[in-house]
Amino acid sequence: MNKLWLIIQREYLTRVRRRSFILATLLTPLAFGLFFVVVYFIFSYEGNDARQIVIVDEGNILNRSISDDKNLYFKFVDTDLQVLLDNFEEMHYEGVVYLPKVHDVMDPNFTIHYYSNNKLTLDLEPRIRERVRKSLYQYKVDQLQLDPKALKALDIKVDIDPHSIKETENETGKLAGQIATIFGFMMGIVMYFTVFIYGMMVMRSVMEEKTSRIVEVMISSVRPFQLMMGKIIGVGAVGLTQVAIWAILIPLILIIVNLAFGIDPQQLEAANPTATQMDPAEAEAMFVQVMAEINRLNWWAMLPLFLLYFLGGYFMYASMFAAVGSAMGDDLGEGQALTLPITIPVLLAFYIMIAVVESPNSSLGVWSSLFPLFSPIVMPARLAFDPPVWQVVLSITFLLATSIFFVWLSGRIYRVGILMYGKKVSMRELGKWLFYRG
Amino acid sequence: MNILTLEDVVKQYDKHTAVDHVSFAVPEGSIFGLLGPNGAGKTSLIRIITTITRADSGKVFLGNEPLNSNHPSQIGYMPEERGLYKKMKVGDHLMYLAQLKGLRKKEAKAAIEVWFEKFDIQDWWNKKVQELSKGMQQKIQFISTVVHGPRLLILDEPFSGLDPINTNIIKDEIDLMHQQGISIIFSTHRMEQVEEICENIVLINKGRNILEGGVKAIKNQFKENLFEIAYVGQLPEINSSQATIVQNNGRELVVRIAEGSSSDALLRFLLDRGIHIRSFREILPSLNEIFIRQVEEKNQQTLVV
């Protein structure tokens, strides 16, 4: 036990102290922040030059009033359009907007004309169109002598408020489905990457020990199983450390970016011209609702379960990677055939998880979240959808049992593999090693 | 008292028998040579002794106790293929290995410092292993093998890859430890080293123990009654019932004394004939010759069988 602890310590400390680890751990959140800043600037980019647009409004639809915008100024003139266009070069306008008279108030279509030497840009077009549409709406309301309140009443929105029949006290909110989907998906992805990245890390490190021949010195002091477990646990702790730091730093950096640049997601959306404008009050109501939904999720059950699935999945896959690493020489390419049987289930689980998030209670979802090779990635994605308790219990039981079995199995292969040199190893060979005596 | 006793040890891999009913004993405090050509099963034997693997059958005792998991802390093992964690600092590395051998932190630090002083490398503590030259790394490897003060030291080809200076340094250390009463097993296929250092040997070939005993006894066992005589004068005819001449260059003579005769008789015979004898020496076979002869003989036997 004491030796195992020493090994865990070394495996953990040497990795955590490594410059590459520190850089990756700190730079990843920074990269996230930078990404957001860049995205924000791309979306909010507007030409530097102030542009002036002349409006010829024949039917006085706009009633001589239109709001200016950042770097965009409007000016009404009564000059004849043809004169304006003839002298366009000298007047340095960005463009001319021509609004013809409204001939038929009942016609929902209305065409305005834009004259310019420059192309009508993607940011300019919706701004002009939206302004004209609003004014024209008001103009038509006046012309047709309609009641604005009655019109407002016609602007219908239908919400669906779902209720769970079984559990009356814990009513599912209407956003629950969407939020659960996002959370489930995120959890699935986190599981997928951690299993892969840290599992691979275990494999590489086993190979290194083998090729540098330190392993023979090591196992003259400790049992091979201790060495393997120490490594798996140590690297797993490195993984947890990294994920924990990211879980704190990434939101923190996003908040800092937010404060420093005044970026918030709503503004991002507003800056995006194709997005529908959202009423700030409505957005806030939505935010409150989202938070309420997030709070409603059963975190006290979910967090420990996540940890269990992480540990189960990690130990299962990392031990397999360790076994494969022990069988390989220093040639990574040669090992491809051996890593394939491990990577395929991980990849399959990932794709199943994507499908299962769409329909969490499908038979695919149920069966794959019971199957231990898939469950560490699929079940966390289902957890937000309140799967039946028996399924969770069964799935965890299977996973932990399989995990222990695989650790044992890998230990048997590992203890033979690390001492085997210059031999090309096949899956069959690995199978034989299982039955070697101590 | 024997520090190590092997009784009828067998180890099989697949269909290949690496160790085939081997028995021998290492007297406490001796330097013991474990000899054999490449692939004879030396490493398999060592792995059993160092508890890396277990024998399929047979018994191994360290002192009086059957080998168990507490014993690695009493054994120091330097494998033929050396290896260290390249990116670790020398001091941390030695601390790690010493603690794995059961030393407490303070003990480990003190022991390492003693060795650093001995080799005059106090400023290496914070260097990374990969910054050291190969010879320097070997020194560290050696320290890591002995730092926990083992009762039994197992050195597998300890001088391979060492330059003459470092070879001598390690040799001196081995001598020193021998004087302190530590038992040392020396595994090698280079016989000249064994003759110099070892007191007892066991010769392994194809997994079998084919020769065992004290170096002197073995040499006597395999002597061919060859004598080298340096002389001045006219050599008389030597009767073949007395001895046969193997080689003669006019100043030095190599003869094989015939059975039933003796070196004393030959010497007297030559002196009587007025030959001036400058030196008279028995030629004992080198271990190398015995080794080669034994290995070839056994191989031939197995061919015939």
pLDDT in tens, A169-212: 444 555 666 777 777 788 778 878 888 889 889 998 998 888 88
- Compute the CA torsion angle B58, B62, B63, B65 (nearest 10 deg): -70
Rounded to whole angstroms, how far apart are CA atoms B2 and B65? 11
Chain A hits for B100, Cβ within 8 Å: 3, 6-7, 218, 221-222
For residue B56, what is the nearest residue in chain A, using CA coordinates?
A437
Rounded to whole angstroms, how far apart are CA atoms B15 and B72? 29
Q: Helix (H) and strand (E) counts for chain B?
A: 9, 14
Task: Judge whether B225 and B262 are in contact, CB under 8 Å.
Answer: no
Task: Report yes or no: A16 at the B interface, CB cutoff 8 Å.
Answer: no
Overall domain count for chain B: 2
Q: Are residues B276 and B196 in the same domain?
A: no
Q: Are residues B242 and B206 in the same domain?
A: no
**Confidence class for position A9, pLDDT limits 50, 70, 90:** very high
Chain A hits for B60, Cβ within 8 Å: none
Rounded to whole angstroms, how far apart are CA atoms B275 and B251? 11
Give the one of A213, A221, A222 whose C-beta lies nearest to B83's C-beta: A213
User: Residue B23, SS3?
Assistant: strand
Q: Which CATH architecture has domain A51-151?
A: 3-Layer(aba) Sandwich (3.40)
Interchain pair A3, B144: CB under 8 A: no
Q: With respect to residue B38, please indicate whether it lies within any of the assigned structural domains.
A: yes
Q: How far is CA A14 from CA A95, A222, A313, B123, B255, in A?
A: 65, 19, 24, 21, 67
Q: What is the pLDDT of residue B99?
A: 92
Q: Are residues B32 and B132 in the same domain?
A: yes
Tokens of A119: 């192309």
For CA atoms A102, A104, A107, A111, the dihedral sign is negative
- Rounded to a whole number of angstroms, the distance from the CA of B247 to the nearest CA of chain A is 47
For CA atoms A58, A60, A65, A67, the dihedral sign is negative
**Confidence class for position B90, pLDDT limits 50, 70, 90:** very high
Q: What is the pLDDT of residue A1?
A: 54
Range of the domain at B261: 224-283
Task: Report yes or no: B111 at the A interface, CB cutoff 8 Å.
Answer: no
- Rounded to a whole number of angstroms, the distance from the CA of B77 to the nearest CA of chain A is 7
Q: How many CB pairs below 8 Å do chains A and B form together?
A: 61
Interchain pair A220, B87: CB under 8 A: no
Give the one of A18, A217, A219 whose C-beta lies nearest to B97's C-beta: A217
For residue B72, what is the nearest residue in chain A, using CA coordinates?
A221
Domain boundary among B194, B217, B240: B217
Rounded to whole angstroms, how far apart are CA atoms A313 and A316? 5
Q: Are residues B209 and B265 in the same domain?
A: no
Interchain pair A221, B100: CB under 8 A: yes
Interchain pair B79, A3: CB under 8 A: no
Mean per-residue pLDDT of chain A = 81
Interchain pair A217, B47: CB under 8 A: no
For residue B102, what is the nearest residue in chain A, using CA coordinates?
A3
Task: Judge whether B287 and B195 are in contact, CB under 8 Å.
Answer: yes
Q: With respect to residue B301, please indicate whether it lies within any of the assigned structural domains.
A: no
Rounded to whole angstroms, how far apart are CA atoms A272 and A42? 10
Q: What is the pLDDT of residue A237?
A: 93
Task: Report yes or no: A420 at the B interface, CB cutoff 8 Å.
Answer: no
Interchain pair B54, A223: CB under 8 A: no
Task: Judge whether B45 and B34 are in contact, CB under 8 Å.
Answer: yes
**Res. A264: pLDDT tops 60:** no
Question: 């002598």: which residue's tokens?
Answer: A145
For chain A, the straight-line distance linking the first and the last C-alpha, in angstroms and rounded, comes to: 20
Interchain pair B14, A432: CB under 8 A: yes
Give the one of A18, A216, A217 whose C-beta lies nearest to B144's C-beta: A217
Residues B203-254: tens digit of each pLDDT: 888 888 888 888 888 888 888 888 888 888 888 888 878 888 888 888 888 8
Q: With respect to residue B302, please indicate whether it lies within any of the assigned structural domains.
A: no
- Compute the CA torsion angle B135, B139, B142, B143 (nearest 10 deg): -160
Residue B142: CATH number of its domain:
3.40.50.300
Q: Are residues B84 and B101 in the same domain?
A: yes
For residue A14, what is the nearest residue in chain B, using CA coordinates?
B88
Q: Are residues B93 and B177 in the same domain?
A: yes
Task: Report yes or no: B209 at the A interface, CB cutoff 8 Å.
Answer: no
Q: How far is CA A152 from CA A141, A148, A157, B5, in A?
A: 12, 6, 11, 100
Rounded to whole angstroms, how far apart are CA atoms B299 and B305? 10
Residues A396-418: tens digit of each pLDDT: 999 999 999 999 999 999 988 88
Q: Whose CA is closest to B124, among B110, B111, B109, B113?
A: B113
Most A CBs within 10 A among B19, B50, B52, B80, hence the mutation to make, goes to B52
Question: 């033979």: which residue's tokens?
Answer: A416
Q: Are residues B106 and B245 in the same domain?
A: no
Tokens of A17: 């102290």
Task: Report yes or no: A426 at the B interface, CB cutoff 8 Å.
Answer: no
Residues B172-206: tens digit of each pLDDT: 888 888 998 999 998 888 777 777 788 888 988 88
Chain A hits for B144, Cβ within 8 Å: 217
> In chain A, which among 78-107 make CB contacts under 8 A with chain B?
none
Q: With respect to residue B291, please indicate whether it lies within any of the assigned structural domains.
A: no
In chain A, where the domains are located? 2-38+173-433, 51-151
Helix intervals (H) in chain B: 42-49, 90-100, 105-118, 134-146, 164-179, 191-197, 215-221, 263-272, 287-304
**Res. B111: pLDDT tops 80:** yes
Q: Are residues B117 and B239 in the same domain?
A: no
Interchain pair B54, A437: CB under 8 A: yes
Q: With respect to residue B304, please indicate whether it lies within any of the assigned structural domains.
A: no
**Res. A394: pLDDT tops 90:** yes
Task: Report yes or no: B86 at the A interface, CB cutoff 8 Å.
Answer: yes
Residues A282-298: tens digit of each pLDDT: 667 777 777 776 676 67
Chain B hits for A218, Cβ within 8 Å: 100
Of A121 and A341, the one with more pLDDT: A341
Phi and psi dihedrals of B5, rounded to 5?
-130, 125
Q: With respect to residue B246, please indicate whether it lies within any of the assigned structural domains.
A: yes
ipTM above 0.85, yes or no: no
Rounded to whole angstroms, how far apart are CA atoms A357 and A381? 6
Q: What is the pLDDT of residue A193?
A: 84
Interchain pair A216, B51: CB under 8 A: no
Give the one of B54, B79, B85 whose C-beta lies nearest to A438's C-beta: B54
Tokens of A190: 């986190």
Interhelix angle A332-358/A176-211, rounded to 10 degrees, is 170
Tokens of B295: 């290995």
Chain A hits for B90, Cβ within 8 Å: none
Strands A113-115 and B75-78: unpaired
Tell me how far the alpha carbon of residue A216 is from its chain's centroid. Answer: 44
Rounded to whole angstroms, how far apart are CA atoms B135 and B160? 11
Task: Judge whether B228 and B254 are in contact, CB under 8 Å.
Answer: yes
Give the one of A6, A14, A215 whose C-beta lies nearest to B87's C-beta: A14
Q: With respect to residue B32, please indicate whether it lies within any of the assigned structural domains.
A: yes
Q: With respect to residue B242, please indicate whether it lies within any of the assigned structural domains.
A: yes
Cα angle: A26, vertex A28, A29; to 5 degrees = 75
Interchain pair B85, A214: CB under 8 A: yes
Residues B118-150: tens digit of each pLDDT: 888 889 899 999 999 888 888 899 899 999 989
Strands B2-13 and A113-115: unpaired
Q: Are residues B41 and B190 in the same domain?
A: yes
Task: Report yes or no: B68 at the A interface, CB cutoff 8 Å.
Answer: no
Rounded to whole angstroms, how far apart are CA atoms B84 and B76? 15
